[in-house]
Amino acid sequence: MKDRKPVVPGWFTTDGEFRLLGTKCTACGTVFFPRQETFCRNPACAGGDFAEVRLSARGTVWSYTNAGYRPPAPYVSDPDAEWEPFTIVAVRLAEEGMIVLGQAEPGVTVDDLTVGAEMEVVPGVLYETDEQVFTTWRFKPTGAAA
């Protein structure tokens, strides 16, 4: 069995309930994703201490699109395989008041989405090498009405 490795370490949980991981400034409470660990980017805050936080499991669609053409490196894809467009979703996490981009689960197309629809974050695989499986996050419609 291949070793499983997050595409970027520390951005999501790797066991238990799947969640994106961010950091929270202990001084002003601003949440950051990708994680911010050395200085707070709130101009009114001089904070420099951060706690890891699990981001909301759900959010709503801010917008969506797809990749009709193969993206250039450093995106990893098999240049010999026929190009299969994937869907990209921008999801607004209500609790954090931030929008996070992610690929949709395979099989979810732009026709399945609409602004305002509810989504949940789920684990996924971005690509594999001979030795390793690189894991990532995906967004999946919950089926809740927009």
**Residues near another protein (CB under 8 A):** 7-8, 25, 28-34, 41-45, 62-69, 71-77, 85-86, 88, 90, 95-103, 110, 114-116, 126, 136
Nearer CB in complex with another protein: 1/145: 145
Nearer CB in complex with another protein: 1/73: 73
Residue 73 carries which DSSP code? Answer: T
Please report how close the Cβ of residue 31 comes to another protein at its closest, in angstroms: 4
Nearest Cα to 139, choosing from 117, 130, 35, 80? 117
Cβ distance 71 to 80 under 8 Å?
Answer: no
Strands 21-25 and 31-32: antiparallel
Residue matched to tokens 């996924």: 124
Phi, psi dihedral angles at 125 (to 5 degrees): -115, 125
Please report how close the Cβ of residue 145 comes to another protein at its closest, in angstroms: 14
Nearer CB in complex with another protein: 3/30: 30
Burial class (CB in 10 A: 0-12, 13-18, 19+), 88: middle
Please report how close the Cβ of residue 1 comes to another protein at its closest, in angstroms: 24
Nearer CB in complex with another protein: 1/31: 31
Please report how close the Cβ of residue 77 comes to another protein at its closest, in angstroms: 8
DSSP three-state, residue 79: coil
